[in-house]
Amino acid sequence: MTDGNANGNQEGATTPLMSWNNNLKALLVDPSPACRLIGKAYLTAYGVNTEAVDNADVAIILLNMGASFNVILIDMHMREMNGAQFAMLLRSSGVQTKLLGMSAMFREREKEEFLEAGGDGFIEKPLHPSKFVPILQELDSN
């Protein structure tokens, strides 16, 4: 059971749809405001403490400030760079967090490039519990 989102954490707080052994944290990097809002709402509803930012630069600033996450969800098409470039940048900076690529248009080559660059998984949008819950369960068991 997590301590972060259980009843009593905040008056009127909604009980998450799932509970975890660990306090899971996610960073969502997506240029679309609607995708950030919905993605964060989904992850939060499932008990994941989530930050959502609109570009890679802000994500890097957060990480450099010492923020830590269990998973970073990355849209393949950000303004400054693509998902594979961002994965490569993170790995070369020593970031070992699980990296999950997301794309609205599934392209096999894009997926391969992302995984070769150090990504751990790849899902098609829209973000849905059936896609992210198994990954969270795996993270929570480690």
Partner 1 sequence: MAGKDLNQKLNELISSLQDQGILDDYFDELKGLQDEQSPQFVTNTITIYLGGADDTIAELTKNLSEPAVNYPRVTYLADKLKGSSMSIGGARMADVCAELCEASEANKREACLALFGGVNREYSILQESLNKIAQLEQAIHDNEE
Cβ-based nearer residue to partner 1, 63 or 84: 84
Residue 137 found at the interface with partner 1 (CB under 8 A): no
Query: Closest Cα partner for 31 from 91, 88, 104, 90?
Result: 104
Burial class (CB in 10 A: 0-12, 13-18, 19+), 64: exposed
- Tell me the window of 11-19, 61-69, 83-91, 134-142 that interacts with partner 1 (CB under 8 A): 11-19
Residue 101 found at the interface with partner 1 (CB under 8 A): no
Please give the structure tokens belonging to residue 125. Answer: 């949008």
Question: Total residues contacting partner 1 (rule CB under 8 A)?
Answer: 24
- Tell me the window of 9-17, 60-68, 87-95, 111-119 that interacts with partner 1 (CB under 8 A): 9-17
Residue 61 found at the interface with partner 1 (CB under 8 A): no
Q: How many CB atoms lie within 10 A of CB 81?
A: 15
